Amino acid sequence: MKIGVDMKAVYDYNISMANKKGNWTGSKNPRWNGGVSKLMSGYILIKKPNHPYAHKRTGYVLEHRLVIEQAIGRYLEPNEEVHHINGVKDDNRLENLELTTSSEHQIKYHSQKGKPVGYRLNVFSKCRECGKSNVKASTIVLCHNCYMRQWNRKKGIVKSD
């Protein structure tokens, strides 16, 4: 009778012991990439654990913020935003970055036709059935009355006009 060894258990034990000893942390980890990471959203992170605004658990800071901080010679305030002019989130050249406040950034880059964020545009178009211009362009192309008339016809509720 052959006695087998559970290799996964041995591997898990070795990893846990290595982590307890600190052998696989930082640059000793086989997956270490020099302190550079890329988020799924496209932004690049740099390992700077001593930075005042570094992530508490990981110690990473957004690279575009570091580039602007180095250019202006101070740390950015929490209410300051860095905007990528060409829209490419991993293009962190200084000429592609613009420093604004959070409120300016919201109004300038995340609004609809210059209106503040959250402002609803009430753009109306004509109803395709009756021709009245009381239909919101973002919805179906029927006014409320024509829509209800069609809905009632589908349900079998016929009203005389």
Q: What is the CATH number of the domain that holds 88?
A: 3.90.75
Confidence band, pLDDT 50/70/90 cuts, at residue 145: confident
Same domain, 111 and 130: no
pLDDT of residue 12: 65
Same domain, 143 and 98: no
Same domain, 98 and 136: no
The domain of 136 spans: 124-155
Query: Within a domain: residue 79?
Result: yes
Please report where in the chains the tokens 């982590």 appear, as a residue: 19
Q: Give the number of domains in the chain.
A: 2
Same domain, 45 and 76: yes
pLDDT above 80 for 27: no
Which distant-in-sequence residues (6+ apart) come within 8 Å of 103 by Cβ? 79
Average pLDDT over every residue of 126-138: 67
Confidence band, pLDDT 50/70/90 cuts, at residue 16: low
Same domain, 47 and 78: yes
Query: Within a domain: residue 22?
Result: no
pLDDT of residue 70: 93
Same domain, 89 and 109: yes
Range list of H helices, 23-131: 63-72, 102-109
Please report where in the chains the tokens 């009355």 appear, as a residue: 145
- Least-confidence region, from 6-10, 27-31, 36-40, 67-71: 6-10
Q: What are the pLDDT digits (tens) for 60-98?
A: 999 999 999 999 999 999 889 898 888 888 899 999 999
Sign for the CA dihedral angle at 133, 134, 139, 142 comes to: negative
